[in-house]
A and B are shown apart, each in its own frame.
Chain A
Amino acid sequence: MTEPMLTVNNLVKHFPVREYRGVFPTTLQTRAVDGVSFDISAGQTLGLVGESGCGKTTTGRLITRLLEPGEGQIIFAGTDISHLKEKALRPHRRDLQIIFQDPFSSLNPRHTVGTILTTPLQVHGLAKGKERERVQELLELVGLNPEHVNRYPNEFSGGQRQRIGIARALAVEPKLIVADEPVSALDVSIQAQVMNLMGKLRRELNLAFMFIAHDLGVVRHFCDDVAVMYLGKIVEMGSRDQIYGAPQHPYTQALLSAAPDLNVVRGVPPKERIRLVGDVPSPINPPSGCRFRTRCWKAQDICSQQEPLLEPKAPAGDPLSAQHTIACHFPEVKSHLVAEVID
């Protein structure tokens, strides 16, 4: 079996927070990512879902080394890039690119599109002498007019700017792209255009993706596999069908249940409603044992004493089920959380 392109082992990242309550100021730690492990193979798409503050964006930034991990390893194409310095990291950056969420702040407003797309080529010494042609090629690849190469970002719409962001990521011919909420800021019809573009490029260029999003429908559409995050940890991970069709972790079930469904107008029987009570606890002081226990309807004593490990719960021997891992003391399959259209 070939080695996965990206292996992440027990990744940890804490951010210090200065507290001024009380007599002496203290430093607390926001445990943004607190022990996350997964693999991504060539051409695979892994979706990372979760709500605000779960650590998914931080995970994306750690993998692309926009942040340095506190603990844990990031192994990309056989090399441990976890703590490499910028010079040693540079050649790997070519293969690991990122697309950001906000099409308005992720492009330098004072650079033309041409400059934005030429810079990565220059940094990595690519297409020497042929930068112009390559930029034209890239613009066409993402469905933009090559004649607009001298325009500034503010002359483009949100959807077009996101296409520029995609072109920039593709400029260096990466192997893996971390897409951090790439379509959340776009209108629904433009979302579909950009999603189609990303799907096409993925097929044509055999790209691997780590797709970070909170929109469950978009993730299901695009991703082969899905990992669900809560308060800095992965609580459930498996194939798309396993996660959407037979989720076992109560948080995954609550997420799926909470998503509003268009099909209720077509006489589809409404799905089971699970309503979580309360807000997400603070990542500075997460609950002991299982972090989800404060909002979980199944919580028992063991949940506060022992943190559940992320592991397969199915009977041993079934290779497919081994792929589906859940971090829960009381996993239970619930289907029909995604309403199905009856033809």
Chain B
Amino acid sequence: MTTPTSPIQDTAVLGRSAPVRHSTTSTHLLEVTDLKVQFPTADGLVSAVSGMSYSVDLGKTMAIVGESGSGKSVSSLAVLGLHNPKRTLMSGSIKLDGTEIIGLSEDKLRRLRSNVAAMIFQDPQSALHPFYKVGDQIAEAYSEHHDVSKAKARARAVEMLDRVGIPNPLRRSKQYPHEFSGGMRQRAMIALGLVNDPKLLIADEPTTALDVTVQAQILDLLNDLQKEFGSAIVLITHDLAVVAEVADDVLVMYGGRCVESGTVHEVLAAPRHPYTWGLLSSVPTLGSEGTELHAIRGAPPSLISLPTGCSFHPRCDFASRVPEGLCSSVLPELSPRPGQSEHPIRCHLTTPADIYEDEVASTIG
């Protein structure tokens, strides 16, 4: 069996104290550099991710925000090496705890999955195996990475179910996923994701399918667990309110590229990209009752034929302010604008801060 690579010494299954986490390298826990993911299909080459760079540190939460077809889920699956290498073209670099993921063998990837990085998905119904008891699924994930007896693994599973707030954990561990409610299934999936104390947890729309009160419980749980285990979280979502409440940093994706990134305060309270403005003004808020929401016209682009230049320009209300038709011909660089935007944006506008203050801020909340 493989030896545990977790820095926490597993001397006892039960009763551990709060760990001190260290990354094995002195840089970021997760470092994604110029990631490109493309899928050759019969209809053409789908450019799901066209150059994405970001980093996440232990104990922090990074939210990746975007709508359908923005590339957010595809980029996160790439972090765990979950794309089929025969059908995917990937370039760039993904360094997870110092190890390069792109091109890594399936064998080595297996050792990292669940151990160093784990993922929880939107629909717990389909992520949990319907034919196996919940406790057995969690125990299996544990024994894949730890040389322990079956009894110890099952005890660990019960401990995790208890840790995620499922009452009667011993009884529940012997049940099947369909016997759990939606919220409980999501908790079970979180238990499954955290059973090996991964340094990084990727949560892909973990609460979208849940009721608002259950969502609140799950978000609180993730927060508590992050404090206890010291893990980094990458949260993929389209819900800006959830981002406001839980994230430290935000990355906004559109058409497979990052268009704005910064701290949650920067991106949501002082946004500088027209797409982010559009997203924020699309959300109904106190005071918007009965009025028209300032919606983004048009529809998200096809990833097979992205618009030339800036992918957002056909839907942008401000493209006309940029001289020489730059928006339709030149792809903007992702960079800060000293004096106008302290955090990087991918846009040709030279005065986004002024435009935001004068024209946009009043349409948002």
* Chain A interface residues (CB < 8 Å from chain B): 51-52, 157-160, 187-193, 195-196, 199-200, 214, 216-218, 220-222, 240, 254-255, 257-267, 275-276, 278-280, 338-341
* Shortest distance between the CB of B134 and any CB in chain A (Å): 15
Do A189 and B278 have beta carbons less than 8 Å apart? yes
| Contact partners of B285 in chain A: CB under 8 A | 217, 262-263, 341
User: In the assembly, what is the distance between CA of A265 and CA of B245, in Å?
Assistant: 8
Give chain A residues whose Cβ lies under 8 Å from the Cβ of B67.
Answer: 187-190
Q: A188-B67, A265-B244 are in contact. Are A221 and B289 (CB under 8 A)?
A: yes
Q: Pick the contact of A265: B264, B278, B279, B281 (CB < 8 A).
A: B264
28 interchain pairs, CB-CB under 8 A: A51-B212, A51-B213, A188-B67, A188-B239, A190-B67, A192-B283, A199-B292, A200-B292, A217-B283, A217-B284, A218-B284, A220-B284, A220-B286, A221-B289, A240-B289, A255-B212, A258-B213, A259-B216, A260-B216, A262-B241, A262-B365, A263-B365, A265-B244, A275-B216, A275-B220, A276-B213, A276-B217, A279-B184
| B297 proximity list for chain A (CB < 8 A) | 193
Given pairs A51-B213, A262-B268, A338-B286, 19 additional interface contacts (CB within 8 A): A52-B182, A188-B283, A189-B295, A190-B295, A191-B282, A192-B284, A195-B284, A195-B293, A196-B293, A196-B295, A214-B212, A220-B284, A220-B286, A261-B244, A262-B241, A263-B285, A265-B268, A266-B269, A276-B213
**Whose C-beta in chain A lies nearest to the C-beta of B241?**
A260
Could you tell me the distance between the alpha carbons of A192 and B279 in the complex, rounded to whole angstroms? 9
A-facing residues in B266-311 (Cβ within 8 Å): 268-269, 278-290, 292-297, 299-300
> Which chain A residues border B294 with CB–CB below 8 Å?
192
Task: Provide the residues of chain B in CB contact with A200, threshold 8 Å.
Answer: 292
Question: Pick the contact of A259 from B212, B220, B264 — CB < 8 Å?
Answer: B212
Q: Are A187 and B300 in contact (CB under 8 A)?
A: yes
Chain B residues within 8 Å of A, Cβ to Cβ: 67-68, 167, 181-184, 211-217, 219-220, 238-242, 244-246, 264-265, 268-269, 278-290, 292-297, 299-300, 365
A54 CB → nearest B CB, Å: 9
Q: Which one of A188, A199, A258 contacts B215 once the chains associate, using CB atoms below 8 Å?
A: A258
Q: Are A264 and B244 in contact (CB under 8 A)?
A: yes
Taking a contact as CB atoms closer than 8 A, the residue among A222, A257, A260, A278 that contacts B245 in the complex is A260
Interface of A is mostly: helix
In the complex, the answer to whether B212 meets A216 with C-beta atoms within 8 Å is yes
In angstroms, Cα B264 to Cα A160, docked, is: 32
* Residues on B with beta carbons closer than 8 Å to the beta carbon of A190: 67, 295, 299
Contact of A189 with B279 at beta-carbon distance under 8 Å, contacts A258-B216, A260-B219, A279-B181 already known: yes
Contact indicator A188/B299 (Cβ below 8 Å): no
- The minimal Cβ–Cβ distance linking A254 to chain B, given in whole angstroms, is 6
Q: Is there contact, CB below 8 Å, between B68 and A260?
A: no
> B183, A279: Cβ atoms under 8 Å?
yes
**How far apart sit A278 and B214, CA to CA, in the bound complex (Å)?**
9
User: Which residue on B lies nearest to A52, using beta carbons?
Assistant: B211
Asked if residues B283 and A264 are in contact (CB atoms below 8 Å), the reply is no
A193 to B246, CA, bound (A): 27
Complex Cα distance, B130 from A327, in Å, reads 39
- Alpha-carbon distance between A217 and B283 when the two chains are bound, in angstroms: 8
* B220-A260 in contact (CB<8A): no
Query: For residue B239, which residues in chain A have a CB less than 8 angstroms away from its CB?
Result: 188, 260
Write out the residue numbers on chain A whose beta carbons fall within 8 Å of the beta carbon of B282: 188-189, 191-192
Q: Which residues of B have CB within 8 Å of A160?
A: 299
A224 to chain B, nearest CB (A): 9
The CA of A193 and the CA of B284, in the complex, are separated in Å by 12
Complex Cα distance A187/B253, Å?
Answer: 14
**Min CB–CB distance B246 → chain A (angstroms):** 8
Closest Cβ of chain B to A280, distance in Å, is 8
Q: Which of A214, A257, A261, A262 has the most CB of B within 10 A?
A: A262
Q: Would A258 and B365 count as touching, CB distance under 8 A?
A: no
Q: How far is the CA of A341 from the CA of B288 in the complex (A)?
A: 12
Measured CA separation A225–B338 after assembly (Å): 48
Given contacts A189-B67, A217-B283, contact A254 B299 (CB under 8 A): no
Establish whether residues B293 and A192, one from each chain, have CB atoms under 8 Å apart when the complex forms: yes
Report whether B183 and A220 are in contact in the complex, using a CB–CB cutoff of 8 Å. Answer: no
- Closest Cβ of chain B to A6, distance in Å, is 22
On chain B, the residues within 8 Å of A266 by CB distance are 268-269, 365
5 pairs of A and B residues whose beta carbons are closest in the complex:
A221-B284, A192-B295, A51-B211, A192-B282, A258-B216
